[in-house]
Structure 1
């Protein structure tokens, strides 16, 4: 198969498919990182002796 015989639309479809998969993986890892940060923040608040309501009032939790 020659490179000239490859359909341009087919190449666009393959390229868009790759970028979509990468975006999904990045967003999934970002969500996991955000969840880890929230859990760590809640643990820190618990260790400090604040209640959840106090932490919200202080703006520590959004």
Structure 2
């Protein structure tokens, strides 16, 4: 289990459990969906489609496994 400070830390926290080095690094929406990812291309296509077919005419379905 991570130390208490890792559970609510806005920054990276490392701790050692036995021989294992554990790292908690909070994610932000920008880190996951920002300009450094491929999602900006997906959102551009969605925006173009919405311009052509209307906001209600476009749906994005994503599955993760």
TM-score band, normalised by the shorter chain?
Answer: 0.3 to 0.5
Structure with bigger RCO (C-alpha 8 Å, 6+ apart):
2
Per the normalisation by structure 2, the TM-score is 0.34
- More helix by percentage: 1
- Greater C-alpha radius of gyration: 1
Per the normalisation by structure 1, the TM-score is 0.34
- More strand by percentage: 2
